[in-house]
Amino acid sequence: MSTITIKDLEKSVEFGPKDTFQKLLDLFSGKKAKKIIAFKTGTAVFDLQRVIPPDCQTVEAVFIDSPLGLEILRHSAAHVMADAVKKLFPSAKVTIGPAIENGFYYDFDYERAFTPEDLEKIEQEMAKTISADLPFVREEVSAEEAKKLFLKLNETYKLELIDDIGEPVVSLYRHGEFVDLCRGPHLPSTGYIKAFKLTSVAGAYWRGDETKPMLQRIYGTAFASPKDLKKYLFQLEEAKKRDHRKLGVQLDLFSFSDEAGPGMPIFHPKGALIRAILEDFEIKEHLRRGYEIVRGPRLLRQELWKRSGHYDNYRENMYFTEIDGQVYGLKPMNCLSHMLIYKSKLRSYRDLPIRYFELGTVNRHEKSGVLHGLLRVRQFTQDDAHILCRPDQLQEEIIGVLKFVQDVMGIFGFEYELEISTRPEKSIGSDEDWERATLALTNALESLNLNYDICPGEGAFYGPKIDIKLKDALGRKWQCSTIQCDFTLPERFDLFYIGEDGEKHRPVMLHRVILGAIERFMGVLIEHYAGAFPVWLAPVQAKILAITDDQAEYASKVYNHLRQAGLRVEVDLRREKLGYKVREAQLEKIPYILVVGEKEVQDQGVNVRLRGGKNIGFKTLKEVVDLIYNDMDEPFKQGGISYRYLY
C-alpha cells in the first residue's frame, strides 16, 4: 500500500496497486463530488478510470467548471461531435479535435462543405449520445495494433498521427461504438456534457500545410452549465455586432480590394484620420518620455538579415527582391536600422540610455488562411522603439516601459494581463544571456508588484519577452504591447559604448511596442468601443443638422465656428426629415448631434443631442465648444494632461 495526500480534503489515504482515482472521488460528497471529473498531480492530469501511479504523493481535484475542467469537457465534446459526424456522414474521415480557448473543433475530410443544416443534425445526434450517458473508456494498445484498427476503419489520417507519436504503445478512448486515438483525459461519461453548441464551419489545411488536403473544421463550445453557455452565446452575438470588418464598412473607415491584394488595408478619409490622431498621440507621448524619432529604410541588404539571424529563423515570413544583382529583404521589423544609427558614431556610458522610436511600416508574409481584417495583415505600421542601455540601467528601463503601457492603456480604458515568454526551441544566443534577460524582465514586474504567467518556449528567437494581453469590453484578450530583452543582437552587430574605465562595453537592447501594429490596434479599438469612439478619437465629433433650408446659412456659420475652434465637424443641409437625419448620425456613431431650427437661429445656439439618444437641450456655441473639449480631456485627466496637448 502507498499513501496519497488529497489537497482539497487536507487528508491522506492509502491506495493499492490496482486502485483508480475513482477511489479518491468516493471520499468526496454532495455537490462537490458531482463536479469532480479528474485529478491532477504536478503537471499530469488523470481521468477517474486511471490507475493511481505508485509514485503519486499529492493530488488535487479537477472540477468541471474550472479552466482545466472546461478543457477536458470540451475535448470530450469534440469526441462526441466526431461520433455524430461519423454516424450521419459515414464516409467522412476524422483527423484531430482539440479543445481550444472557449471551445473545441474537429477537422474532417469530407467530399463537400458542411452546411448550417448539417450542424443542426449533428447537434441532435450529439444530444442522443449525451442522453445515453456512455462511459469514456481508455485503452492502451501497441502502435501496430492501433494502426491495424484505424486502417480497418479507413481512418488514414490516424496512421500518420501514430507515426508522429513515435511510441511503441498508444492510448485510445471509446464511448459506445466510437473509438479515437487520444492521450486524454476525458469526462467519466458523455452525460457530463450539460450545455454545448456548434458555432461555425471553416476550411483548414491538414496540419496547417497549404500543400496538404483542405479539411472541414467544425467549431463548437461547451460549458459546465446552460447559464454559462447562454452568457457566452450572448457575447458571441455581441461580438458579431462589434466585428471591425462590418463596422469598418458601415462607418466608412477602411476597405480591402482584390485588385490591391489580400492583407493590404486601404484607409478611407475617416479611418486615415483616426490613424493620424493615434500616431500624433504616439509621437507626443514618446517625446515626453525621452525618445528620439528616427526612420529607417524599408529595404535592407540580405547580408544584414543573415547577420541578425532573421534569415535563418524568420525568412519564411519575409519578402525578398533583387536590385542591381543584390538581394534585399523587405523589413518585417525595425531593429536593424536602429542598430545602424547607434553604430554611426562612438557612444559613451554617459549617452545611455538611448531610446529610438519609429512609426515604421513593415511587411510580413502571412499565410492567406490566417489573414483577418485589420487584425492580421501583410503590411502594417508598428510603434516600434529600441532602447539601448547599460546593464545597470536595464531594470529601470523595463519599468519605464511598463509604466508607459499602464498610462496609455488607462486612456483607452483597457485592463490587461501580463505573461513572460521564455526561450523557444528555434533561437540564438547563449543560455547565460537568456537567463540574464529573463531575470531582468521578472525583476521589473515583481518590483511593481505585477502578477504574471509564464509561457514556456514562446519568446522571440533573440530574447525573452513580456507580452501584455489587453481585455476588451467583452472580456476578450488581445496581444498588442510587448517588451523583449535582447543581449544577442548587440553582440552580433558589435554594438559597444566606452565605459567609465575607458574600455569597450556591450549595451543591452530592449525591443518594445506600446500599441503594437496600428492597424491591429485600430481593429481592437473598433470592437472595444463598438465603433462609438471616445470624443478625442472620433473622426467626426459633431454633426450639425439644419431642420429646413431657412436655417442653412446659420448652420454653415456654426460649422465654420466649430471648425475654427479646432473641432472635427460635418454639416447636413439635405432636405430630409429631421428624424431621418438624426437616426443616420446615430448610426454613424457621431458623439454630438447639433440641431439648428428657427429658435436656435434666434437665440444663436444649437440644440444638443448625444449619439445614445439623450437630449441635453440648448447650448450656446461657446458652451458647445467647452462641452466637447471637456469630453475630449476626460480620458487624459488621470495623467495630468489635456487632449489639447496633441495640437
Residues annotated as part of the active site:
335, 364, 382, 384, 386, 465, 511
CA nearest neighbour of 187 among 37, 32, 386: 37
CB atoms within 10 A of CB 220: 23
d(CA 3, CA 14): 4
Asked whether 627 and 619 are in contact (CB, 8 A), the reply is yes
Please report, for residues 17, 57, 185, 188, the alpha-carbon distance to residue 44 in angstroms, rounded to integers and kept in the order given.
18, 12, 10, 17
472-478's contacts with Cβ under 8 Å and 24+ in sequence apart are: 472/414, 472/524, 472/527, 472/528, 473/528, 473/529, 473/530, 474/235, 474/238, 474/239, 474/242, 474/527, 475/235, 476/239, 476/527, 477/417, 478/520, 478/524
Say which residues have a Cβ less than 8 Å from residue 573's Cβ, sequence separation at least 6. 546, 549, 552, 555, 556
CA–CA separation, 135 and 190 (whole Å): 6
Rounded Cα–Cα distance for residues 578 and 560 (Å): 21
Determine the Cα–Cα distance for residues 507 and 397; give it in Å rounded to an integer. 13
Question: What's the Cα-to-Cα distance from 596 to each of 36, 573, 591, 613, rounded to whole Å?
Answer: 65, 10, 16, 17
Strands 99-100 and 195-205 come out as: unpaired
